[in-house]
Amino acid sequence: MPLELKKINPVRLRTLGVDERWLQNRIEEDTTLLGLGELSILRREKSLSSGGRLDFLMYDPESEIRYEIEIMLGVLDESHIIRTIEYWDLERQRYPAADHRAVIVAEEITARFFNIIRLLNRAVPLIAIQLNAFSLDNSVVLHFTKVLDVLEEVDDGEDEGEQVDRRYYERKAGAASLAVLDAVVALVEKEIAPARLTYNKGHIALGTSGFNFCWFFPRKSTPHCNMRLRVAADRRDHLIEKLEESGIAASPSRNERMRFKLLPRQVEENRGAIIEALRAGDEFSKNSSG
């Protein structure tokens, strides 16, 4: 059967009777729409010290990048460019150890403003995304195109995020990621001490009687779970080496942290190396908390 050709033209979302909040809701339901990967939402409409509100503060646990995202319908204008950069700068000053990206999303980015943001991109890690909407058979199709990316040269997110509960992650995360979480918590309970879990929108934090020392970033579309572990600096390299020898991809991160990915089967297969790393994290958290 020959393919049927349908001609459709872009439409403005407001002509379909929807507004920016509707668009924000769709992005919150599926952050991959933006084309930046499967991002975790740390805040939506976050109030800032400047008096404004940031549409989204998102985080990629794999690249450890924070995204300050401003969304608008219609044609990009000066005020949204200034606002996006201002929000990026405020967050950068608040969390100077983290990498940050300023993100502008608009339905139309004219040649004039594209040239302006392209020049600004030399100093600010700025991403511009153009949204095209198409009306088709009583449905709407959203297509996001990255028209400007950062120039290759900008705290890990473990300290921030609205608190949620287990059910939130059962809806948002995949079974494999949660299986890793449950297996690691079971190891801590059995081998170290009673575990304390804190569910946040951006991550799940694990601790015992000291500070949190382990952070999980469950995702829907991966067979593993991304993790961060904070240990004493003089032990980190040894622990990374032990995990690598066990077949677990691990690497150093910031502020005495190490990062790695675990598959559900690896927790039991590499029990000794994982317990050693978790115990080191627990000891460091208790020493740090005095």
* DSSP letter for each residue of 75-109: B--HHHHHHHHHHHHHHHHHSTTSEEEEEEEESB-
User: How many C-beta neighbours within 10 Å does residue 17 have?
Assistant: 7
Is residue 108 included in any domain, yes or no? yes
The answer to whether 170 and 177 have CB atoms below 8 angstroms apart is no
Of 82, 147, 79, 89, give the one whose Cα is nearest residue 118: 147
Domain membership of residue 159 (yes or no) is no
- Read off the pLDDT of each residue in 71-76 and give the average, rounded to a whole number: 93
Query: Residue 96 is part of a domain; what is its CATH number?
Result: 3.40.1350.10
Which CATH number belongs to the domain containing residue 269 in this structure? 3.90.1150.20
Q: How many CA atoms lie within 13 A of 255 on its CB side?
A: 16
Q: For position 156, what pLDDT does the model report?
A: 42
Highest mean pLDDT among 38-47, 176-185, 246-255: 176-185
Q: Is the pLDDT of residue 86 over 80?
A: yes
pLDDT value at residue 220: 83
Task: Give 152's pLDDT tier (boundaries 50, 70, 90).
Answer: very low
- 114/170 same-domain check: no
What is the pTM for the complete model shown? 0.60
The per-residue pLDDT for 154 is: 32
State residue 256's pLDDT score: 67
Residue pLDDT, tens place only, 208-224:
988 899 999 998 878 89
Residue 49 has pLDDT above 90, yes or no: no
- Tell me the mean pLDDT in the region 140-154: 76
Q: Examine the pLDDT at 52 and tell me if it is beyond 60.
A: yes
Place of tokens 């219609």: 74
Residues 248 and 273: beta-carbon distance below 8 Å? yes
Q: How confident is the model at residue 160 (pLDDT cuts 50, 70, 90)?
A: low
Residue 63 has pLDDT above 80, yes or no: no
pLDDT, tens only, 246-266 = 889 888 876 668 889 899 999
Contact 61, 226 (CB under 8 A): yes
Checking 191-200 for CB contacts under 8 A at 24+ apart, the result is 191/275, 191/278, 191/279, 192/275, 192/278, 192/279, 192/282, 193/282, 198/163, 199/163, 199/164, 199/165, 199/166, 199/168, 199/169, 200/160, 200/161, 200/162, 200/163, 200/164
Please state, in angstroms and as integers, the Cα–Cα distance from residue 16 to each residue in 12, 136, 141, 143, 171, following that order: 7, 11, 12, 16, 29
Distance, in Å, from the CA atom of 232 to the CA atom of 275, rounded to the nearest integer, reads: 15
Summarize the confidence of residues 87-110 as an average pLDDT.
88
Q: Is residue 30 part of a domain?
A: yes
The yes-or-no verdict on residue 15 having pLDDT over 60 is yes
Q: What is the C-alpha to C-alpha distance for residues 136 and 140, in angstroms, rounded to an integer?
A: 6
Tell me which of 123 and 67 has the higher pLDDT: 67
Q: What is the DSSP letter of 254?
A: S
In this prediction, residues 77-87 reach a mean pLDDT of 90
| Residue 188: pLDDT over 70 | yes
For 105-150, the three-class secondary structure string (H helix, E strand, C coil) is EECECCHHHHHHHHHHCCCCCEEEEEEEEEEECCEEEEEEEEEECC
Average pLDDT over all residues of the chain:
87
- Identify any residues that bridge with 69 across adjacent strands, giving them in sequence order: 56, 103
Instruction: Tell me whether residue 275 is in a domain.
Output: yes
Indicate whether 3 belongs to any domain.
no
**156 part of a folded domain:** no
278 occurs within a structural domain: yes
Rounded Cα distance between 163 and 160, Å, is 9
Has residue 51 got a pLDDT over 70? no
Do 216 and 207 touch, CB atoms closer than 8 A? Answer: no
Domain that holds residue 43: 10-148
Confidence of residue 275 (pLDDT cuts 50, 70, 90): very high
C-alpha angle with apex 72: 69 to 73, nearest 5 degrees? 150
Distance of CA 259 to the CA centre of its chain: 15
Asked whether residue 137 falls in the same domain as residue 192, the answer is no
Q: Does residue 203 surpass a pLDDT of 70?
A: yes
Instruction: Assess if residue 5 is contained within a domain.
Output: no
Same domain, 16 and 127: yes
26 & 135 share domain: yes
Kindly state whether residues 66 and 125 are assigned to the same domain: yes
- Number of domains, the chain: 2
Do residue 226 and residue 264 come from a single domain?
A: yes
84 shares a domain with 51: yes
More confident residue, 94 or 217: 217
Clarify whether residues 128 and 15 are in a common domain.
Answer: yes
Other beta carbons less than 10 A from residue 269's beta carbon? 14
